[in-house]
Structure formats: C-alpha cells, structure tokens
Amino acid sequence: MKIEFYLNSHLVVVDVDPMQSLLHTLRGTMSHTATKEGCGEGECGACSVLFNDRLVNACMMPISQVQGGDVMTLEGLRQTEKGQCVINALLEAKGVQCGFCTPGMVLALYALLEADPNPTELAIRTAISGNLCRCTGYGMIVEAAKIAAEKGEGLW
Amino acid sequence: MVNVYRPDTLAQALDTLSMGKLTVFSGGTDLMVQHGVRAGMSPRFEQDVLFVDAIEELQYIASAEPEHKGESGQEQALYIGAGVVLADIEQHPLVPSVLRQSVAKIAAPALRNRATLAGNICNASPAADSLPALYLLDARVVLSSIRGQREMALADFILAPRVTALKPDEMLTHIVIPQYDLPEVFYHKVGTRAANALSKLSVAGLARIKRYPKKAPVIADWRVAFGAVGPTVVRSRELESLVVGQSLDTLAKPGFVQQVVGCYREIIRPIDDQRSTAAYRQQASLNLLTRWLEGLSRS
C-alpha cells in the first residue's frame, strides 16, 4: 500500500504492508537508522519520534496511520538549532554512553522543552519516564535537560 | 495481508463496520502488542482493520453536547469522544480529577499521546487503570452502529476480562460522565515502578462532606473502587452505604474503620499472577482503603 507523509519536512512516499510499524518503515524501508528498536512494545522509548509534533513510539504505529502526517526523527531534529541545543547539553552533562537510547532521549527532551521551557526536576523525570537507559544513569540525562533549558534560553 | 480502512467520518466508519468482521483500531497501543510477532516483522492481524484515529468527530471533550445526549437524560454531563488520547484527558480542566490522576499513571507520555480512553475501556483488562475512576463516576458508554445508538452503564458494558457488550457492527463512540460534585479525591496505584508498569492493584475514592455550622460534618457521599483485584472492577454500593450518612466523628473511630475494612475483606478476592500475589493484593487494597477512610476523617 502506498503511504505518503512528511519525514523531517520532506514529502516521501513508501509502498509497504499497511500494518508495518512506522519504526520498520524508517529503519528497514528507508534506512533511517537513528530511530532504534528496543523492546518493540512501547516500553523502552528507543523508537521515539515526533508525529504531528507529539512524542510517540514508532513501534506502536502502523504506517497506515502515518498517511498525511508529519514525522520528525533525530536525523531531522539534529539539523535544527533546538535539536543541536539538546544534543550539546547531553554531551556536556556526559549523558551519553552506549548511545542506544540517545535518539529517543533527544526527542523526549525536545518535546518536553517545547511544552515547558523551564521544567522542574519532576517534569523532566516524567517526560523521560518512557525512555529506558541501561548504562548512563538518569542523573546525567536530567542534568542535560536543565542545561538545555538554561543554555537554550529564548530558544524554547 | 489484511485490508485496512481509515475513514475520516463516523458515518463511513459505521458503514464499513456493518460489512463484516473488523478490528477497530484507535491508538492501537494494546493491539500492536497483542498482535506482535517478533522484532523486524509486521504484526499479524487476523481480521481487516478499521482505523478510527482520523475521525475528527470523535476528538472532543465537552460538557453536555445535546446532539449526543443519551437516555440518561443528564443535563450536565461530560462527553469524551472515543478518539481523545489519554494525554489530552490528563490535561483537560473539565475532566474530573480522579480520572485525570489515574490516566496520568498509565504507561508513559509517548504512549499516552496515542492511547485512547475508549481503547482502555474496550480492551477490558482487569488491570485497566482508567476503569476504577470511571466506575466511581458512574460513567456510561455510547455504542454506535448503522442501526443507531445505545447507551449503557460502563459497569454493564464490561462483562469479563477482555469481554464487552459490543456487537460486531458496533463501536464505542462516546464516554459520558455525569458531573458529580465530589471534591474529596483519593487515588493510589501500586505497581513495580512509577512509569510503564501494569498495576498490581489500584484504589480510587470519591467523597463529599457536608459541613453544618453547628453540627458535626457528615459524609454526604462516599465511594471506593478497586482495580486489578478481580475479573472486573470491584465496587459495592451496598458497602458504600455503610459510610454514607455517617458523621466525620464516627469515621475517626478505629472500630468503625475496622468494621468497614472487614466488609471489604470479604469482597476483595484477587488472584495470584505474574504481577503479584493474591495475599499482597488484598492486604495492600485494604491498607489503602484504611488510608482513604482515615485521611477523610481528618479532612
């Protein structure tokens, strides 16, 4: 089935199984591999992307539902000033080790700061509560959110 | 490969539903997990899929929408369309606090951006987190098909784990919450971790206290419901009547609380499963009930 949508602001068309997940379309069909597959059932957040400006798990969305919509992945976000702000904050806070969760974390932190430019610690922890990290530890990632809020002042 | 339909009007969706067996798919966060095969493969659906996420008519939260006013005849009721995602319910000022609190405990933000309240209801899991709150609020559901609409109490709609009163050509289109004035709210979910954990058990409570200038305050309304401790939500109007009408002074007496808790001990009969044991579920439920009653007596 032919599906047309915006991927990182570019109109794309794919011809795939209508129930295939957006995650598999991104990774398998389109070779956009920043979005990771972890648990495959919406619990780890490694596949987080923005769909119509909201954070979603790409593993849980059949590509049919993406028809006509707008998808932003790390590949697109890192081209923006806000995306770079989050990425730099993660590097500064040493919030990256193996990096597997990082694309999802960047998207989750971006979604948080877009909604709330000065988040409390609780708001930060809630925002990343669906993104599992098994090596860095959340302290540095929470710190990164604070750095991005501070250094990106006026940006959000 | 299955056929998929993604209409943008309710009329088209109901027409499609009348044609035959279909899986109604909104946020699909439960369906994708249930039909998942393994990493790298598309989920396997046995029936054709009707996506209802593109239907604008189902995406609203409004008080008393006359067009959809059902046989309950409530003048002031809150209507939630089946397409509304949990994140929007969590943030909406018109939604009762007990429902907002319980929805906020479901999974994590990204999932709440897709999952719907209607989906949580139709999935009819014993551990569905929105259900205790909805039972307490005497929520009703509107079921639509090309034959028309019918409305029923949520407690009658959910028949057993994973079983609802939905007919094959029907879909749940609206949730109706009669607007009660119940300012005292209690909600506590017990899970393994703060996010993304299915409930071991949950307890929701609502109450209204009448305060007289010269008399002791009286409990004018009192409700409690337990989730994940039985095949469906446990709520007993009979036992609630033990508390309704009592003064707050009575509630402060330990003997009274023990008596009420003792009655609930008889009706909370959970099972052992992978998430918890029956004994833990029962005791934790009763402890939370005690906390709800004691907290109220001090309010």
Question: For chain A, what is the mean pLDDT?
Answer: 97
Report the amino acid identity of residue B41.
M
Gap between the Cα atoms of B232 and B237, Å rounded: 15
Gap between the Cα atoms of B207 and B222, Å rounded: 4
Q: How far is B56 from chain A (nearest CA, A)?
A: 14
**CB distance B129 to B202 below 8 Å:** yes
The number of helix segments (H) and strand segments (E) in chain B equals 12, 13
Q: Among B298, B224, B296, B210, which Cα is nearest to B263's?
A: B224
Q: Is the pLDDT of residue A60 over 80?
A: yes
Report the amino acid identity of residue B172.
L
In this prediction, residue A136 has a pLDDT band, given cuts at 50, 70 and 90, of: confident
Contacts of A56 in chain B (CB under 8 A): 110, 113-114
Query: What pLDDT score does B75 carry?
Result: 63
Low-confidence ranges of chain B (pLDDT < 50): none
Q: Is B241 on the interface with A (CB under 8 A)?
A: no
Interval A82-125: pLDDT, tens: 999 999 999 999 999 999 999 999 999 999 999 999 999 999 99
CB contact under 8 A, B2 and A18: yes
Cα Dmax for chain A: 45
Q: Is B94 on the interface with A (CB under 8 A)?
A: no
Q: Which of left, alpha, beta for B40 (phi over 0: left; psi -120 to 50: alpha)?
A: left
Mutation test of the interface with chain B: which of A15, A19, A50, choosing the one with the most B Cβ atoms within 10 A?
A: A19
Q: How far is A96 from chain B (nearest CA, A)?
A: 21
Would the ipTM clear 0.85, i.e. be above it?
yes
With a CB-CB cutoff of 8 Å, which residues 74-133 of chain A face chain B? Answer: 108, 111, 126-127, 129-131
Gap between the Cα atoms of B119 and B103, Å rounded: 12
Count Cβ atoms within 10 A of the Cβ of residue B278 and give its class: 0-12 exposed, 13-18 middle, 19 or more buried. Answer: middle
Gap between the Cα atoms of B235 and B279, Å rounded: 19
Q: Is B36 on the interface with A (CB under 8 A)?
A: yes
CB contact under 8 A, B42 and A64: no
Gap between the Cα atoms of A92 and A100, Å rounded: 18
Sign of the Cα pseudo-torsion (A37, A39, A45, A46, in order): negative
Structure tokens at B245: 């009408």
CB contact under 8 A, A21 and B32: yes
pTM of the model: 0.95
Gap between the Cα atoms of A90 and B271, Å rounded: 45
**CB distance A21 to A60 below 8 Å:** yes
Query: What pLDDT score does B70 carry?
Result: 52
Report the run of H or E that residue A107 belongs to, with start and end. Answer: helix A102-115
DSSP for B71-119, written as a single string: TT--SSEEEEETT-BHHHHHH-TTS-HHHHHHHTTSS-HHHHTT-BHHH
Q: Is A4 on the interface with B (CB under 8 A)?
A: no
| DSSP 8-state secondary structure symbol assigned to residue B231 | S
CB contact under 8 A, A56 and B114: yes
CB pairs under 8 A between A and B: 101
CB contact under 8 A, B109 and A129: yes
**CB distance B267 to B238 below 8 Å:** no
Query: What pLDDT score does B68 carry?
Result: 52
**CB distance B120 to B29 below 8 Å:** no
B51, B114, B194 ranked by CB distance to A60: nearest:
B114
Instruction: Give strand pairing partners of A2.
Output: A15
Query: What pLDDT score does B41 carry?
Result: 86
Q: How far is A147 from chain B (nearest CA, A)?
A: 22
**CB distance A54 to A112 below 8 Å:** no
With a CB-CB cutoff of 8 Å, which residues 60-89 of chain B face chain A? Answer: 87
Structure tokens at B262: 């003792």
Query: What pLDDT score does B7 carry?
Result: 98
Contacts of B192 in chain A (CB under 8 A): none
Q: How far is A27 from chain B (nearest CA, A)?
A: 9
